[in-house]
Amino acid sequence: MDGNGRWAKNRLMPRVAGHRKGVEALRGVIRACAERGVLYLTVFAFSSENWRRPQEEVSLLMELFMRALENEVARLHENNIRFRVIGELSGFSERIQSLIRDAEALTRDNTRLTFTVAANYGGRWDIVQAVQKLMAAGVPWEEVNESALAQQLSIADMPEPDLFIRTGGEQRISNFLLWQLAYTELYFTGTLWPEFDAVALDAAIASYRTRERRFGRTSEQVKSAS
């Protein structure tokens, strides 16, 4: 969710005002996804690299994360939304970790939309922790294959994403779901995250609909199969 800082700067406001506006935008996007029948929404809220930001901004982001956990989870639950967090959670305060555990437990059986927040997450970290789990379980090397590894990733129980959206004009993956994005359609927009709304989401979905997903096959094969 990129572009909060620039959105604020354009308005001569402090960066944190952009992050606050970003939380509002996220609320709208979650609602829009639920209304459109999207089953999985995963957002990159805080990367393992974001700790490198100025201490003050990091603290404000943590504060905002905590407030959101305190204030938004009940509404997610009322709307039958399952909430998950993936990432190295031990990097967060005890308070945040316990709010996350409670929110996940409260919403675990909800079925309308699975909303996942990647926090202190990195795609490389995810692959490494999956390998560690395989090794800790003593899985023999001949049994280490793509499906065995995929089963140890943080979101092993969810389908690979169909569509990846990056806001804010940057055209990179920045260590998001590296493994799972292998065949995902990528969509880049200059829209800053605080301005990313249902209309912007529909534009991304419309772009997605024009794509032909071949998964390595030829265009002719895909057409005759459908």
Residue ranges that bind Mg ion, judged by CB under 5 A: 2
DSSP for 11-48 reads TT--HHHHHHHHHHHHHHHHHHHHHTT--EEEEEEEET
19 vs 82, which CB is nearer to ligand IPE?
Answer: 19
44 vs 125, which CB is nearer to Mg ion?
Answer: 44
Residue nearest to ligand IPE (CB): 5
Q: Which partner from the list ligand IPE, Mg ion, none does 4 bind, CB cut-off 5 to 8 Å by kind?
A: ligand IPE
Closest separation between CB of residue 224 and Mg ion, Å? 43
Asked if 94 contacts 133 with a C-beta cutoff of 8 angstroms, the reply is no
- Give the active site residue among 50, 79, 110, 175: 50
Q: Is 4 a catalytic residue?
A: no
User: Which residue type is seen at 96?
Assistant: I
CA distance 162 to 181: 8
Q: Which partner from the list Mg ion, ligand IPE, none does 50 bind, CB cut-off 5 to 8 Å by kind?
A: ligand IPE
Closest separation between CB of residue 152 and Mg ion, Å? 30
Q: Which partner from the list Mg ion, ligand IPE, none does 194 bind, CB cut-off 5 to 8 Å by kind?
A: none
Tokens read off for 196 = 């990313």
The Cβ of residue 90 has, within 10 Å, a number of other Cβ atoms equal to 8
Closest separation between CB of residue 187 and Mg ion, Å? 17
Q: If you search the block for the tokens 């959206």, which residue do you land on?
A: 165
Which residue in 118, 119, 121, 41 sits closest to 76, CA to CA?
A: 41
Alpha helix segments (H runs only) across the chain: 4-10, 15-35, 55-78, 94-107, 123-136, 146-150, 198-209, 219-225
Q: Is 50 a catalytic residue?
A: yes
Closest separation between CB of residue 62 and Mg ion, Å? 17
7 vs 152, which CB is nearer to ligand IPE?
Answer: 7
Residue ranges that bind ligand IPE, judged by CB under 6 A: 1-6, 19, 22, 46, 50, 61, 168, 193
Q: Phi and psi dihedrals of 169, rounded to 5?
A: 90, -15
89 vs 149, which CB is nearer to ligand IPE?
Answer: 89
Any idea which residues carry the catalytic annotation?
2, 50
